[in-house]
Amino acid sequence: MELSKTAYVILGMLGLGKSTGYDIKALVDVSTRFFWAASYGQIYPELKRLEALGFIAAVQEPEDGRRRKAYRLTDEGRRALRDWLNSSDELHTELRHEGVLKFFFADALELDEQLALVRRIRAHHEAVARQLREIQAVKEGEDADDRFPGLTLAWGIEYQERLAEWCAVTERQLREELARA
């Protein structure tokens, strides 16, 4: 893999019309963050690297004041982005979920504590779902050229709600056991 995944985040964001590192980070924080985070500590060095490689180019900015460095995709950069999107390389996926981790070890708990744990996990997913729905509400007004960012957001909401739903089912079972006891 010549480029890091985060490099493709940058290429993709430039493709969506963003131009500065700050701008990219701001969009990441309300979109890809939920399935691919990126920090300034990656973005700025990576911008330089991508420029050196010729995948992006600095745009001439009217030097009227505030220093900022705007970039645009080069043809080569656009090609690299599409090649990655079309590549059949193994997809990198990883999950860190403290709630599931606790669930895994929950035999060490009493039944009522197990129930409380699952409730906390559900509350977490419901909170994230709410947060995503707020983002969706804000985007509502904007007329988007692009369709997939919105579809991805809808996916994220459904994803969180599914997880919450699974918690609800599990809670019901535990509650029944508690009642029988």
Partner DNA sequence: GACGGACCTATCGGCGCGATATATCGTGCG
Partner DNA sequence: CGCACGATATATCGCGCCGATAGGTCCGTC
Residues near DNA, by CB under 7 A: 4-6, 20-23, 25-26, 37-42, 44-45, 47-48, 65-70, 94
Helix, coil or strand: residue 74: coil
- Residue number, 109 or 135, with CB nearest to its own copies: 109
Which residues in 55-71 are b (16+ Cβ under 10 Å) and which e?
Answer: bbeeeeeeeeeeeeeeb
Least Å distance, CB 173 to its own copies, is 10
Is 77 a binding residue for its own copies by CB under 8 A? The answer is no
Cβ count within 10 A of residue 107: 7
DSSP state of 61: -
Least Å distance, CB 151 to DNA, is 23
Phi, psi of 152 (to 5 degrees): -65, -40
Is 16 a binding residue for its own copies by CB under 8 A? The answer is yes
Least Å distance, CB 181 to DNA, is 37
Q: What angle do CA 13, 16, 18 make, to 5 degrees?
A: 65
DSSP state of 31: T
- Residue number, 44 or 166, with CB nearest to its own copies: 166
Q: Which of its own copies, DNA, none has residue 70 at its interface (CB below 5 to 8 Å by kind)?
A: DNA
Is 121 a binding residue for its own copies by CB under 8 A? The answer is yes
15, 22, 72, 161: residue in contact with its own copies (rule CB under 8 A) = 15
Orientation of helix 5-15 relative to helix 75-86, angle to 10°: 120
Cα–Cα distance for residue pair 17/57, rounded to 1 Å: 14
Phi, psi of 73 (to 5 degrees): -70, 140
Q: How many residues does the chain have?
A: 181
Is 75 a binding residue for its own copies by CB under 8 A? The answer is no
Cα–Cα distance for residue pair 110/113, rounded to 1 Å: 5
Is 40 a binding residue for its own copies by CB under 8 A? The answer is no
Helix, coil or strand: residue 56: strand
2, 94, 140, 142: residue in contact with its own copies (rule CB under 8 A) = 94
Least Å distance, CB 132 to its own copies, is 13
The residue ranges that bind its own copies (CB under 8 A) are: 5, 8-9, 12, 15-16, 31-32, 34-37, 78, 81-82, 84-86, 88, 90-109, 113-114, 116-117, 120-121, 124, 128, 145-149, 151-152, 155, 158-159, 162-163, 166, 170
